[in-house]
């Protein structure tokens, strides 16, 4: 009679390859899409990832299975740099908008001053003759 021995269960190997991005990075990208209304394509281009990855992260984010597991831990240097670069980009855009508004206001002021000069001619007895010409 054969004796059947129980084998020790094998440890499950994770399928696929290890994620390239940290969970907090994925959480941040998915949060931008869900919370701020960024499109998948915009997020993929901005964060240099594929639209498929963004879609996957958003699905997990909505299910609640994608968590920033590093609560209480400082974000990585890479993420800090990325956030600062995004902030710099936004501020440069705002500076550009303000510069254009300033230029537009300067032109409007100059135009209004020129119009005042043209329309502010005072009719006196010395120049009355030029204004008394008949209609053609």
pLDDT tens by residue, 12-33: 776 777 777 888 888 888 888 8
CA atoms of 83 and 47, how far apart (whole Å): 11
Let me know: does 21 contact 75? Beta carbons within 8 Å: no
Of the candidate ranges 48-52, 58-62, 104-108, the one whose mean pLDDT is the lowest: 58-62
Residue 100: band (very low, low, confident or very high) from pLDDT cuts 50, 70, 90? very high
Phi then psi dihedrals of residue 97, to 5 deg: -60, -45
The domain spans of the chain are 19-73, 75-117
CA atoms of 47 and 40, how far apart (whole Å): 10
Q: H or E element: which one contains 95?
A: helix 77-119
Let me know: does 82 contact 29? Beta carbons within 8 Å: no
């Amino acid at each position: 009679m054969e004796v059947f021995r129980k084998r020790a269960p094998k440890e499950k190997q994770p399928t696929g390859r290890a994620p390239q991005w940290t969970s907090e990075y994925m959480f941040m990208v998915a949060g931008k899409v869900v919370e701020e209304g960024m499109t998948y394509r915009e997020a993929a281009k901005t964060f240099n990832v594929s639209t498929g990855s963004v879609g996957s992260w958003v699905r997990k984010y909505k299910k609640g299975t994608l968590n920033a597991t590093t609560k209480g831990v400082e974000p990585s240097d890479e993420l800090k740099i990325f956030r600062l670069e995004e902030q710099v980009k936004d501020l440069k855009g705002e500076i550009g908008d303000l510069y254009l508004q300033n230029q537009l206001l300067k032109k409007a002021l100059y135009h209004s001053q020129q119009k005042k000069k043209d329309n502010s001619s005072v009719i006196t007895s010395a120049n009355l003759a030029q204004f008394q010409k008949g209609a053609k």
